[in-house]
């Protein structure tokens, strides 16, 4: 990031992404957006809107039918390794590899990213302490609650500390103090010149935290911009009312 202005650097770019499952209608239809260094972007929409599908195309899990995704300038299809080194991903389902202990899972992920032991240990210690997980790392994940599994997934993803964080419904199942810690971490990460994209079906979560929000439903983008602009466009309504009205309106289209 030598001489280029950090603010202008685009870390996540979606260009005309579309996805079709089987012979169904398009689950995602021509989604484009870009997220710059320093930004926290909330990706909002009701269940089934297409958020997870977009995130899976950004992270290379699904191959888009049209369009392309770039992470830190690397095309996820053409340069998958460089792109994957540039983001941390927390999936929407934390029920993976439950036969491992929390620490075994963290080390499994950290090995994939070749994180040296001397960097790994202090980071894991710090993250585990912030999430109240220090005493649970030696326990099998099968014995964890949903919230503990979610926290462990976040710790494992953040042990590798790349510029872009892509988090699918990260607040779901977190207790208030863990949710608070995660929001603080997002702010710290963005303030260091990185970016965070996180999906949520609860728009209020995005209200205080986000520079920009992207609202989608039925595979389409309905709004992209600041929360202030959205509020200014709908005077006298709170964010929940605006959101419900937007997703109702598009349904009958």
Ligand X SMILES: Nc1ncnc2c1ncn2[C@@H]1O[C@H](COP(=O)(O)OP(=O)(O)O)[C@@H](O)[C@H]1O
Q: Which residues bind Mg ion (CB under 5 A)?
A: 51-52, 92
Structure tokens at 154: 């976040």
The verdict on 21 binding ligand X (CB under 6 A) reads: yes
- Which of 51-59, 70-78, 132-140, 227-235 is the region at the interface with ligand X (rule: CB under 6 A)? 51-59
Least distance (Å) from ligand X to the CB of residue 64? Answer: 13
Of 62 and 110, CB closest to ligand X: 62
- Percent helix, strand and coil across the chain, each to the nearest 5: 40, 25, 35
Contact (Cβ atoms closer than 8 angstroms) between residue 22 and residue 38: no
The verdict on 73 binding ligand X (CB under 6 A) reads: no
Instruction: Determine which residue in the list 6, 16, 32, 48 makes contact with ligand X, applying CB under 6 A.
Output: 48
Burial letters 213-244, b for 16+ CB under 10 A, else e: bbbbbbbbbbbbeebeebeeeeeeeebeebbe
List, in order, residues 6 or more apart from 209 with CB less than 8 Å away: 40, 42, 183, 186, 187
Backbone phi, then psi, for 239, in 5-degree steps? Answer: -60, -40
- Which of 40-48, 65-73, 114-122, 140-148 is the region at the interface with ligand X (rule: CB under 6 A)? 40-48
Q: For residue 107, which of 119, 89, 94 has the smallest C-alpha distance?
A: 119
Contact (Cβ atoms closer than 8 angstroms) between residue 19 and residue 13: no
- Which of 44-52, 66-74, 137-145, 173-181 is the region at the interface with ligand X (rule: CB under 6 A)? 44-52
The verdict on 49 binding ligand X (CB under 6 A) reads: yes
Least distance (Å) from ligand X to the CB of residue 106? Answer: 26
Residue 27 contacts which entry, ligand X, Mg ion, none (Cβ below 5-8 A, type-dependent): ligand X
Structure tokens at 101: 């202990």
Place of tokens 């240990």: 121
Residue 183 contacts which entry, ligand X, Mg ion, none (Cβ below 5-8 A, type-dependent): none
The verdict on 58 binding ligand X (CB under 6 A) reads: no
Give residues in contact with ligand X (CB under 6 A).
21, 27, 45, 47-53
């Amino acid at each position: 990031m030598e001489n280029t202005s950090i603010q202008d650097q685009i870390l996540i770019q979606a260009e005309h992404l579309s996805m079709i499952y089987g012979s169904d209608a398009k689950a995602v239809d021509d989604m484009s957006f870009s997220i710059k260094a320093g930004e926290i972007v909330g990706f909002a929409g009701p269940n089934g809107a297409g958020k997870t599908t977009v995130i899976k195309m950004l992270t290379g899990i699904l191959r888009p039918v049209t369009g392309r995704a770039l992470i830190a300038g690397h095309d996820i299809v053409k340069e998958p390794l460089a792109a994957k080194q540039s983001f941390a991903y927390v999936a929407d389902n934390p029920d993976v590899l439950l036969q491992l202990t929390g620490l075994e899972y963290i080390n499994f992920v950290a090995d994939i990213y070749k994180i040296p032991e001397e960097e790994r240990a202090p980071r894991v210690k710090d993250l585990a302490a912030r999430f109240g997980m220090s005493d649970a790392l030696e326990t099998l994940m099968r014995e964890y609650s949903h919230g503990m599994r979610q926290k462990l997934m976040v710790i494992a993803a953040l042990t590798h500390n790349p510029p872009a964080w892509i988090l699918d419904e990260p607040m779901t199942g977190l207790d208030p103090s863990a949710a608070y810690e995660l929001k603080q971490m997002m702010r710290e990460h963005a303030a260091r010149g990185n970016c965070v994209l996180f999906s949520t079906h609860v728009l209020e979560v995005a209200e205080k935290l986000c520079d920009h929000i992207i609202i989608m439903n039925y595979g389409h983008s309905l709004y992209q911009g600041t929360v202030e602009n959205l509020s200014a466009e709908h005077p006298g309504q709170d964010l929940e009312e605006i959101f419900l009205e937007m997703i109702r309106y598009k349904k009958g289209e």
